Chains A and B, each alone.
Chain A
Amino acid sequence: MSRNAHPHAMAPSKPGRTRTAPPQLPDQFPFGGRYLAYTLFDLTGILYVVLGLLALCAVWSLGSGEADWNAVLERNRNLFSVGFHGIALVGLIFVGIRFFGFFPKAQPPHVGPLKPPPKPVILVGLYALWIGVTVCLSIVLAGGVF
């Protein structure tokens, strides 16, 4: 407990009866112990922003002629780009598994008369969807369809 949290964290709307010491952050926050997985989960957002920008550039080059598109493909062959995409893939799998693990319990017991399917069914459905989309995208990107 060495660092101050937000000084107004949990402060009541009216002044307290006595002077209080400011709230402290948990020792391990943000990179230690129980917080590591959560922080890594959130940090993967940076990867998605960069990936999104790269995807936009690639789509833009598609409309700018074959030379531009080939230049994009060439840029993606260098070691840095391959390494970045490898890290992004690991990040995506980590986030997917963590999110899918939490997803079933986030379903309310019922929505009107409808009840969610059993948790194992939700999990199998999510993984099947993920694998299915990945396979379809891979086939398209490999030129198997178009």
Chain B
Amino acid sequence: MSDGHSKKTFVVTRFDPDQDAAPRKQSYEVPVHPDWKVLDALNFIKDEVDATLSHRWSCRMAVCGSCGMMVNGEPRLTCKEPLSQYGDTVVVAPLANFPVIRDLVIDADGFMEKLTSVKPWIIRAKELAVEEGPMRQSPAELAEFKQFSMCINCMLCYSACPVVANEPEFLGPAAIALGHRYSLDSRDEGAAERNEVFRGEGTVFSCSFANECTEVCPKHVDPAAAVNQAKLNAVIDWASSLVLPRGGDE
């Protein structure tokens, strides 16, 4: 053991679908370096103590969004959380509100389906011909949606959201923020299609503005703002379809 190491106890949730009826806790004593993040300790356990531990990670620089877990009850990116900010015992569990495949690995299939349901791509009524050149966008137009495009789909917001916990069909913060990002894009013409989705059951109007998604976002995106802006846009779109000639269509 080199200088600078201290010991911490990691209480990690374990679940083997072939053997365990339900998740259980397992403790590990880990010699930690002062510079370590939570993920480093999990990798140490995997490499040196218990090779059966399963957890997801990839980039180690808070970009890929793979290593989200509950650390001492809070949804966190484990590659971003310095161990020095925790006490002698660190409790690591899989992200709340998600089914658990194994140990710290959650099932993200439902999340992926929600992401695609908001049509997260640029929709054009008519594609530009190549000779017409690129679609231009001013810095001011980019600024309108840029923060929502910083989402890394780490799912921490779903884990913190009390509405997701209570209403499983809720589309959720990241998916709505992603859809809203495209609706705000000056090159996009699909806002009306997305507003149809947003006016459906279990979408923007299920949000009760707890703001927890924004609080836990490691990339400082503001999904709560996106969801509530999308609410207003969906209402305006619906109201204009009632009062404007031809439902507001050009």
Residues on A with beta carbons closer than 8 Å to the beta carbon of B102: 18
Q: In chain B, residues 215-249, which have Cβ atoms closer than 8 Å to a Cβ of chain A?
A: 215, 222, 224-225, 228-229, 231-233, 236
Q: In chain A, residues 108-135, which have Cβ atoms closer than 8 Å to a Cβ of chain B?
A: 108-111
Give the A interface residue count (CB, 8 A): 40
Query: What is the CB-to-nearest-CB distance from B86 to chain A, in angstroms, rounded to a whole number?
Result: 15
Q: Are A16 and B101 in contact (CB under 8 A)?
A: yes
Q: Which of B15, B75, B168 contacts A8 (CB 8 A)?
A: B168
Smallest CB gap from A30: residue in B? B162
Q: Are B228 and A25 in contact (CB under 8 A)?
A: no
Q: Is A81 an interface residue (CB 8 A)?
A: no
Residues on A with beta carbons closer than 8 Å to the beta carbon of B96: 1, 5, 23-27, 29
Residues on A with beta carbons closer than 8 Å to the beta carbon of B200: none
Q: In chain A, residues 34-84, which have Cβ atoms closer than 8 Å to a Cβ of chain B?
A: 34-35, 38-39, 41-42
Smallest CB gap from A6: residue in B? B168
1/0 contact string of B133-161 vs chain A (CB within 8 Å): 00000000000100000000000001110
Q: Is B17 an interface residue (CB 8 A)?
A: yes
Q: In chain B, residues 186-238, which have Cβ atoms closer than 8 Å to a Cβ of chain A?
A: 208-212, 215, 222, 224-225, 228-229, 231-233, 236
Compute how far the CA of A20 lies from the CA of B101 in the bound complex, rounded to whole angstroms.
Answer: 5
Q: Are B228 and A21 in contact (CB under 8 A)?
A: no
Smallest CB gap from A22: residue in B? B99
Residues on B with beta carbons closer than 8 Å to the beta carbon of A13: 110, 113
Q: Are A10 and B97 in contact (CB under 8 A)?
A: yes
Q: Is A33 an interface residue (CB 8 A)?
A: yes
Q: Is B176 an interface residue (CB 8 A)?
A: no
Q: Which of B107, B166, B224, B231 contacts A12 (CB 8 A)?
A: B107
Q: Is B82 an interface residue (CB 8 A)?
A: no
A-B contact count (CB 8 A): 140
Residues on B with beta carbons closer than 8 Å to the beta carbon of A42: 208
**Taking chain A's interface residues, is the majority helix, strand, or loop, or is none over half, making it mixed?**
loop
Smallest CB gap from A112: residue in B? B236
Compute how far the CA of A1 lies from the CA of B160 in the bound complex, rounded to whole angstroms.
Answer: 13
Q: Are A34 and B224 in contact (CB under 8 A)?
A: no
Residues on B with beta carbons closer than 8 Å to the beta carbon of A11: 99, 107, 110, 168
Q: Are B107 and A10 in contact (CB under 8 A)?
A: yes
Smallest CB gap from A20: residue in B? B99
Residues on A with beta carbons closer than 8 Å to the beta carbon of B107: 10-12, 16, 20
1/0 contact string of B99-124 vs chain A (CB within 8 Å): 11110000101111100000000000
Compute how far the CA of A35 lies from the CA of B173 in the bound complex, rounded to whole angstroms.
Answer: 16
Q: Are A10 and B233 in contact (CB under 8 A)?
A: no
1/0 contact string of B28-70 vs chain A (CB within 8 Å): 0000000000000000000000000000000000000000001
Q: Are B101 and A9 in contact (CB under 8 A)?
A: no
Query: What is the CB-to-nearest-CB distance from B12 to chain A, in angstroms, rounded to a whole number?
Result: 12
Smallest CB gap from A39: residue in B? B162
Q: Are A106 and B231 in contact (CB under 8 A)?
A: yes
A6-B165, A12-B109, A16-B101 are known; give 18 further A-B pairs, CB within 8 A.
Answer: A6-B166, A9-B164, A9-B165, A10-B99, A10-B164, A10-B168, A20-B107, A23-B96, A23-B98, A23-B100, A26-B75, A26-B165, A41-B210, A42-B208, A105-B224, A106-B209, A107-B229, A109-B184
Chain A to chain B: the 4 pairs with minimum beta-carbon distance, closest first? A12-B109, A106-B228, A20-B99, A27-B73
Can you show 7 pairs from A to B with CB atoms below 8 A apart? A5-B97, A10-B98, A10-B110, A20-B107, A21-B15, A35-B210, A105-B224
